[in-house]
Structure 1
Amino acid sequence: MTDYLDLNRANWDDRAVAHTASPDYQVSRFADDPQFLSEVVRFDQPRLGDVAGLRGVHLQCHIGTDTLSLARLGATMTGLDFSGASLASARSLAASAGAAVDFVESDVYSARSALTGEFDLVYTGIGALCWLPDIKRWARTVASLLAPGGRLFVREGHPVLWSLDYERTDGLLSITEPYFETTEPQVYDEASTYVATEHVFTHTVTHEWNHGIGEIVTAVLEAGLVLTGLEEHQSVPWNAITGRMQHIGDGEYQLTDRPARLPHSYTLQATRPAV
């Protein structure tokens, strides 16, 4: 099998350029408005609660808009990502906003050796877990990063959403991709991305994996964490099914026809026991 890290890293290096320039990421707003937060973190805020004073790490932080937003809420943040191009944009973003955010280049599974100390908050955002082949290894990594009493916070696209046939035009929701984790990846070749851009991509092939909700919860529990919340949502922060979703405000999209049929995304929270 082609090394998925090299393949996917090249794709995300390519995306970093497009995403930084895209109006959808609103990069310029962070420098212009010291109170501005990403739409993703604004959605998360009621569930995150007060993060002021917490030492946090954002795994798979990409260009850092959510990482910076968490720092603006008072957390001392570190962002970790395997894409050097993404981190270059993230560091530029933080500098333009005058924020003291550290960024570390590493793949997720190497995070424990790449980072120093333990964290009160491990944050993982939308579109992250599908790039990882082994959800149990991810959960063990998260557990190794958390301080006693520390919290994992994940908002992610729902595995049912990831498993749909996006090419259908008859209005039906059809599951054609794996819902459960598989040994071999799903291989995609797509010359576009999820934001508005005119960028021409040169690295278009990716290797991805789905993970069922039960697999994710089990992995978290087996890693020694205590599940404290699992909430499914009827919206997702990107236009996941082109032509079949409507923007409902605050960067969230929802299936236009009978959205209650589909779990769009979910929030999972868990803690490391204090003793």
Structure 2
Amino acid sequence: MSDYRSINRANWDERATAHAASPGYRVERFATDPAYLSEVVRFDLPRLGDVTGLRGVHLQCHIGTDTVSLSRLGARMTGLDFSGVSLEQARTVAARAGAEIDFVQSDVYRARDALDGEFDLVYTGIGALGWLPDIRRWATTVASLLAPGGRLFIREGHPILRACDYDRTDDVIALAEPYFEHVEPQVYDEPGTYVETDREFVHTVTHEWNHGLGEIVTAVLDAGLTLTGLVEHQSVPWNALPGRMRQLPDGEWQLADRPQRLPHTYTLQARKAG
């Protein structure tokens, strides 16, 4: 197993300030509009339901825009991330937004030791699971954090989308990357990042993993949780296949040609027995 934590942390540490300054994260909007919610959280409002008064933790929270959004919906939130620089930005975002949120630095697998008590809601947003090598260990960690009757809520990029051949420019959907979890990581060396910025980066290598949808569901069930919802979506919050996607009115992106061919993202919900 590679030293993926150090490699990936260097990548996220370097990008955190660029992300906070990018218009893609709309940090200024959080500061000026007390009702503003991130597009990711707003997309899932019909499935998220009322979170008022719930004690929630956002795993792999990055700079905290989704965490702040959940706080604005009434949850008492904690954010957790392994990047100290990301958490510095998250604390600034929360302070400017007027949100009282605790932010804790920890690798997600060590979250149980880093956090006190149990939670009514464990939330994980887009682009998180691909940084973790072992989906079963993740699910076990989630179960350990949940209070009886507590809920897991996750929206994530679909593993089929993550397995696509990103270099194609025609209308053929081809799979080039692993769909199933495997021991060795997928190693990428990408100079930029997924939001608009003119920054140049030094730490460009990342180690990532895909996890099949069946593997994710099975891990959640084996951790003792009950699956309560699984919805596959025909849109994704970023331009995942450049040159082949169109932007929708809600800010999401969709395959331009016959989007029903491809599951773009999914929302999964599960509960711990009460």
Question: Which TM class, normalised by the smaller chain length?
Answer: over 0.9
Aligned-residue offset at 1:170: 2.1
Question: Match for residue 226 of structure 2?
Answer: 226
Per-residue CA deviations over 1:215-253 (Å, capped at 9, x if unaligned) read: 000000000000000000000001101111111022200
* Equivalences for residues 74-113 of structure 1 within 5 A: 74-113=74-113
Question: For structure 2, which runs of at least 5 residues remain unmatched after alignment?
Answer: none
* Equivalences for residues 125-140 of structure 1 within 5 A: 125-140=125-140
TM-score, structure 2 as length reference: 0.99
Task: List structure 1 segments (4+ residues) > 4 angstroms apart after TM superposition.
Answer: none
Per-residue CA deviations over 1:124-177 (Å, capped at 9, x if unaligned) read: 000000000000000000000000000000000000000001001122111010
* Equivalences for residues 248-267 of structure 1 within 5 A: 248-267=248-267
Question: Match for residue 21 of structure 1?
Answer: 21
Count of matched residue pairs: 274
In structure 2, C-alpha distance between the alignment counterparts of 1:241 and 1:45, rounded to whole Å = 26
* Equivalences for residues 1-275 of structure 1 within 5 A: 1-274=1-274
In structure 1, C-alpha distance between the alignment counterparts of 2:250 and 2:166, rounded to whole Å = 24
Aligned-residue offset at 1:192: 1.1
Aligned-residue offset at 1:18: 1.2
The share of aligned pairs that are identical, in percent, is 74
In structure 2, C-alpha distance between the alignment counterparts of 1:182 and 1:38, rounded to whole Å = 32
In structure 1, C-alpha distance between the alignment counterparts of 2:267 and 2:187, rounded to whole Å = 26
In structure 2, C-alpha distance between the alignment counterparts of 1:68 and 1:17, rounded to whole Å = 17
Question: For structure 1, which runs of at least 5 residues remain unmatched after alignment?
Answer: none
Per-residue CA deviations over 1:53-78 (Å, capped at 9, x if unaligned) read: 00000000000000000000000000
Per-residue CA deviations over 1:159-217 (Å, capped at 9, x if unaligned) read: 00000010011221110100000000000000011111111111000000000000000
In structure 2, C-alpha distance between the alignment counterparts of 1:251 and 1:6, rounded to whole Å = 33
Q: Which residue identity lines up with residue 66 of structure 1 in the other structure?
A: D
In structure 1, C-alpha distance between the alignment counterparts of 2:251 and 2:143, rounded to whole Å = 31
Q: Which residue identity lines up with residue 128 of structure 2 in the other structure?
A: A
Q: Which residue identity lines up with residue 186 of structure 2 in the other structure?
A: Q
In structure 2, C-alpha distance between the alignment counterparts of 1:31 and 1:149, rounded to whole Å = 34
In structure 2, C-alpha distance between the alignment counterparts of 1:202 and 1:17, rounded to whole Å = 14
In structure 2, C-alpha distance between the alignment counterparts of 1:130 and 1:219, rounded to whole Å = 15
